[in-house]
Amino acid sequence: MLKVENLHVSVEGKEILKGINLEIGAGEVHAIMGPNGSGKSTLSYVLSGREGYDITEGRVLFNGKDLFEMSVEERAWAGVFLAFQYPVEVPGVSNIYFLKAALNGIRKFQGLDELDAMDFISMVKNKMKDLDMDEKFLYRAVNEGFSGGEKKRNEILQMSVLEPTLCLLDETDSGLDIDALQIVAKGVNRLRDPKRSFVLVTHYQRLLDYIKPDYVHVLAHGKVVKSGGPELALELEEKGYAWVDEKIAS
Amino acid sequence: MSVTHLPNTHYTSLLSAHENNLVGQDVSWLNSLRKKAIEAFSVTGFPTLREEEWRYTNISPIEKKQFAVAEKPGKLDAAFVKAVLLEGCYHLVFVDGFYQAEFSSMDGLSAGVTVSALSEGLSEHESLVKSLLDSTVETPALGFINFNTALFTDGAVISIEENTVLDKPIQLAFISSKEAALKLTNSRNLVLAKASSKASIIETFHSVEESCHHTNVITEVVVEPNANLSHNRLQAESLKAYHIGGVYSRLENNAIFNQSNYTFGANLSRCEIHGTLGEASDCTLNGLYVGQDKQHMDNHTRLNHAQPHAVSNEFYKGVLGDNSRGVFQGRIVVAQDAQKTDAKMNNRNLLLSDRAEVDAKPQLEIYADDVKCAHGVTVGQLDETAIFYLRSRGADKQTAKNMLTFAFANEMIERIDFEPLRMAVLEELLKRFPQAGMKKEWL
Ligand SMILES: Nc1ncnc2c1ncn2[C@@H]1O[C@H](COP(=O)(O)OP(=O)(O)OP(=O)(O)O)[C@@H](O)[C@H]1O
Ligand SMILES: [Mg+2]
């Protein structure tokens, strides 16, 4: 589904990603771990098409197509979704309208008609129930004044409404209390599907207790320095990133 | 060296050419008022860029175009009128500056309320008209005021008796017909809200065609003690029109006046919202101007805090796209006696293109020492991060921008309590920033 080949990315002349290689097959769950500042969010943003990054080398194929040839919204239409580490506040735009505009954009691309307003609302309300979100959030401005945990939950709500095929979750678990973590994890698990892949950026094993990854990668200094199975995360939890650094050094 | 501005003889000669065609031609005090006004106008002419209050707005196209006076109302399609009339209102319709009874309706108007077109009710309400006309405008009057006084053909006279609450808003709809092309219309509205009364007035301005015409309309408002008047203005004229408007108000003690001003139309528009605030009166000014193409929109507010304990809250927002230009000049004068004044002014502008421009100029003149005055002006662009966020969810770039622009402007529209007006203003906004599948109730 996603193939990242020798990806080099700079911001303002400073190289941040230094040759990333990653292959993610349909239905797989990959976890990316790594120290602060190692480039995890940069990778997520570059995949979703945010401006301000210079791609100096390499390429990314999404279902065989060059991702960098696609605009931000074309990627969303094709099924790429990034749950932001820091979800953006959009004053004056209600959550319900935001969801509707997003879903309409995607449905239009798929050649589908707009969903009927009633069907749409009841669909969204059902998904909110699953995520234990109060309906009043529908009519509040997107993320404005939401608590950290509420913002993260809202990202997952968007993901479950839009049903993307590649879900990038950038530290969705950070800032969630234990109950919220379980709810969010359940939300993600509900979306698991042989045709849908997940990339979970996280610092903590606890998320991976609920969402079991197929692969774990360690990103450090802009490179994937180690890849392995779920046991790698446990090993990291035990030994810390210093252990990985030592291994690179040796 | 001072250069004298020579008044345009095309315009100065209009009164003598048309005096037999104007409302109240047999009323001698009115005739002499008109004469005095045109004489004053013959000295000053229209304002020029050299005047401080007009330095951002060049009205020379009005001079050059030599608009002719509209002498009679053009024909109107009933469907057009129906579309611009708001539900749940009394309606007075003026076409090319002339009252049209066939489109108007005052049915069910309660006792204690006088609503009449000047052309129909001048003799009946002569003393009311006389007491209001030219009573709230500045002296010496500006060129456009004198021009209007000299040449107004019609307008509304409204009076709400003491302790009377009007059950529905009164809509004054000013429509320029096809025949209005290259013509000018002058209208004058006079409003008196007597003590402890309550009423709402909505003025709307429309053009049947995208033609070039000139509208000059002045509304004079007196709000007596403890009365509560709401006045709204929706200017949605042709993008080729020249619109000069003014709302001049006097708030007496403990009066409440809420003025809202929505500007979408006209090639060039200038709107004066002036108020003199009596003791413990409360004045709210809300405004939104949305410019596109080469539109020029100038809003000029002036609040005179003449007495103590009055409160004013002013909030204007501007959205300027393409090559449009906005001007906001907000002036607050606090007189020496006006202690405990509480005046707030806020102007926020959103520029949608590098070619759009805004000149925002708050002016505070404070002569009292115990007052609270605050003002703020911002000029900004759409939030790139928010655009990215919306696009990353599947909204295309234009939709994302429209959504954010809409949200910015909607803050001013949400403040409209009266739903039919709110929907009409929303419609104007949506026309300019379309958003598929939007449900107004979700805003
Ligand atoms: N716009 C930018 N301008 C300058 N430096 C940037 C920019 N974006 C990212 N960086 C730098 O790139 C490096 C990687 O940042 P990134 O946010 O990708 O790290 P991360 O792995 O997500 O870290 P964390 O675990 O703290 O979220 C950091 O050193 C950061 O300061
Ligand atoms: Mg990060």
- For every residue of B81-93, DSSP letters joined together read HHHHSPTTSEEEE
* pLDDT confidence tier of residue A237, bands split at 50, 70 and 90: confident
Kindly identify which residue of chain B lies nearest to residue A168, measuring between CA atoms: B392
Tokens of B1: 């060296």
* pLDDT confidence tier of residue B332, bands split at 50, 70 and 90: very high
Q: Does B435 contact A100 at a Cβ distance shorter than 8 Å?
A: no
The per-residue pLDDT of chain B, averaged, comes to 94
Taking the C-alpha atoms of residue B187 and residue B101, their distance in angstroms, rounded to an integer, is: 16
Which residue's C-alpha comes closest to atom 18 of ligand 1?
A39
- Sign of the alpha-carbon torsion through A72, A73, A78, A83: positive
Pocket test of ligand 1: the residue of A8, A17, A40 to mutate, having most ligand atoms within 8 Å of its CB, is A40
Taking the C-alpha atoms of residue B193 and residue B163, their distance in angstroms, rounded to an integer, is: 10
Burial class from Cβ neighbours inside 10 Å (0-12, 13-18, 19+) for residue B103 reads buried
In chain B, what percentage of residues exceed pLDDT 90?
Answer: 91
Q: Does B382 touch chain A (CB under 8 A)?
A: no
DSSP B266-317: -SEEEEEEEEEE-TT-EEEEEEEEEE-TT-EEEEEEEEEE-STT-EEEEEEE
Per-residue pLDDT at B2 exceeds 50: no
| Spatial CA neighbour of B59 closest among B67, B149, B187, B204 | B67
Contact B441, A138 (CB under 8 A): no
Number of the ligand closest to the Cα of A40: 1
**Is residue B135 one of the residues assigned to a domain?**
no
**Is residue B26 one of the residues assigned to a domain?**
no
**Which residues on chain B are in Cβ contact (under 8 Å) with A159?**
none
pTM: 0.93
Instruction: Specify the pLDDT at position B435.
Output: 75
Amino acid (one-letter) located at B134: D
Instruction: Give the model confidence (pLDDT) of B22-81 as tens digits.
Output: 999 999 999 999 999 999 999 999 999 988 889 999 999 999 999 999 999 999 999 999
Q: Does A93 contact B391 at a Cβ distance shorter than 8 Å?
A: no
Contact B163, B197 (CB under 8 A): yes
Instruction: Specify the pLDDT at position B439.
Output: 55
- ipTM score for this prediction: 0.96
Contact B136, B251 (CB under 8 A): no
CA of A51 to the centre of ligand 1 (A): 14
Instruction: Specify the pLDDT at position B436.
Output: 55
The angle, 0 to 180 degrees and rounded to 10, between the axes of the packed helices A178-191 and A117-130 is: 130
Angle B298-B412-B235 from CA coordinates, rounded to 5°? 45
Which helix (DSSP H) or strand (DSSP E) does residue A247 occupy? helix A241-249
* Cα atoms in the 13 Å half-sphere on the side-chain side of A197: 18
Instruction: Give the model confidence (pLDDT) of B259-294 as tens digits.
Output: 999 999 999 999 999 999 999 999 999 999 999 999
Q: Does B410 touch chain A (CB under 8 A)?
A: yes
* A36 Cβ below 6 A of ligand 1: yes
Taking the C-alpha atoms of residue B129 and residue B136, their distance in angstroms, rounded to an integer, is: 12
**Is residue B393 one of the residues assigned to a domain?**
yes
DSSP B402-441: HHHHHHHHHHHHTT--SHHHHHHHHHHHHHHS--TT--GG
Contact B272, B245 (CB under 8 A): yes
Pocket test of ligand 1: the residue of A17, A36, A84 to mutate, having most ligand atoms within 8 Å of its CB, is A36
Q: Give the distance from CA B184 to its chain's centroid.
A: 17
| Spatial CA neighbour of B358 closest among B382, B383, B377 | B377
Taking the C-alpha atoms of residue B274 and residue B283, their distance in angstroms, rounded to an integer, is: 11
Taking the C-alpha atoms of residue B333 and residue B368, their distance in angstroms, rounded to an integer, is: 10
Burial class from Cβ neighbours inside 10 Å (0-12, 13-18, 19+) for residue B140 reads exposed
Per-residue pLDDT at B397 exceeds 90: yes
Q: Does B404 contact A92 at a Cβ distance shorter than 8 Å?
A: yes
The residue that leads in pLDDT, B212 or B438, is: B212
* A37 Cβ below 6 A of ligand 1: yes
Number of domains composing chain A: 1
Tokens of B15: 């009164």
Per-residue pLDDT at B3 exceeds 80: no
Q: Does B394 contact A73 at a Cβ distance shorter than 8 Å?
A: yes
Number of domains composing chain B: 1
Range of the domain at B427: 384-443
Range of the domain at A113: 2-249
Taking the C-alpha atoms of residue B356 and residue B293, their distance in angstroms, rounded to an integer, is: 9
Number of the ligand closest to the Cα of A45: 1
The residue that leads in pLDDT, A142 or B434, is: A142
Q: Does A73 contact B389 at a Cβ distance shorter than 8 Å?
A: no
Other beta carbons within 10 angstroms of residue B392's beta carbon come to 24
Which residue's C-alpha comes closest to atom 26 of ligand 1?
A36
Q: Does B441 touch chain A (CB under 8 A)?
A: no
Amino acid (one-letter) located at B415: R
Instruction: Specify the pLDDT at position B4.
Output: 54
Q: What is the largest CA-CA distance in chain A?
A: 61
CATH of the domain at A13: 3.40.50.300
The minimum-distance atom of ligand 1 relative to the CA of A85 is 27
- Option in B396, B438, B439 nearest A73 (CB): B396
Q: Does A90 contact B390 at a Cβ distance shorter than 8 Å?
A: yes
**Which residues on chain B are in Cβ contact (under 8 Å) with A114?**
436-437
In chain B, what percentage of residues exceed pLDDT 70?
Answer: 97
* A250 Cβ below 6 A of ligand 1: no
Which residue's C-alpha comes closest to atom 28 of ligand 1?
A37
Amino acid (one-letter) located at B371: V
Q: Does A90 contact B394 at a Cβ distance shorter than 8 Å?
A: no
* pLDDT confidence tier of residue A114, bands split at 50, 70 and 90: confident
**Pairing label, strands B68-69, B90-95:** unpaired
DSSP A128-188: HHHTT--GGGGGSEETTT--HHHHHHHHHHHHHHH--SEEEEESTTTT--HHHHHHHHHHH
**Is residue B102 one of the residues assigned to a domain?**
no
Find the distance separating the first CA and the last CA of chain A, reported in whole Å. 34
